[in-house]
Structure 1
Amino acid sequence: MTEYEVRPAPGSAEDAEEHLRSLLRWLKEDESLDHGVRATLSSPTPSSTEDMGTGLDLVALIAGSGLSAASLVFSVLEWQAGRRRAPALIVRRGSVEVHLPVGRSADDEELRRIVTALGEDDRQSQELEGDDGTA
């Protein structure tokens, strides 16, 4: 299982929760993901009892082993391109964050760059654990 977070970039959207709810619906209905991803709305920090909280400000995704990062990223980019007022987004996997600005179309090379960047965390983890990928 691979965990991702998707959230609006700081200052990119006034209606962040509304955008995230739309993204969540999109991901759940995307047939190309074939139910290989579980997505929920959440907040990275718990709110205190004295505070109203910041609301729901990220989509937490858990992708099954059969789902490629490319499929997930492509679906997020499709959602972003289809929105009239889409926010810039940040996709996070482990310690790696990738910014997806608004209005930039993602060609094959851009998608490959994003997926490669999100895969960096795996390679770093393997190196730290001494796993050279051989059996």
Structure 2
Amino acid sequence: MTRVMEISSQERLRNSGLRPTRQRIALADLIFAKGDRHLTVEELHEEAVAAGVPISLATVYNTLHQFTEAGIIRVLAVESAKTYFDTNVSDHHHFFIEGENEVLDIPVSNIQIGNLPEPPEGMEISHVDVVIRLRHKSRR
């Protein structure tokens, strides 16, 4: 039986070039403990407070952006009022449920994207994000 060893938050931070401070480790533990997911700064701050981690909203914000720059999470902008952070950094797309502010993964194999425009001189496409907005069907 093969067992997959989960990487510790401290190792994850070191491997990405970030110094594993107490606050970064605590936030990484919270972020990655539940597997792949999407969360906002406010949601992570609430989780941290509930877990007894003394941390300001500004520190959570700054830390999430440091994690993004280090490549261990990615930013997902689905609406102008909220930014979501995604622990799944692989190529994939998203459903966004309007009114519920819920984000769900769509495997990249389920969508084919073609006829992309040529990027401007000296530029290259790093990745393509598709967000499909959903709403509940109206009852007639």
Which band: TM-score by shorter chain? under 0.3
Structure having greater relative contact order (Cα 8 Å, sep ≥ 6) = 1
TM-score w.r.t. length of structure 2: 0.27
Q: Which has the larger radius of gyration?
A: 2
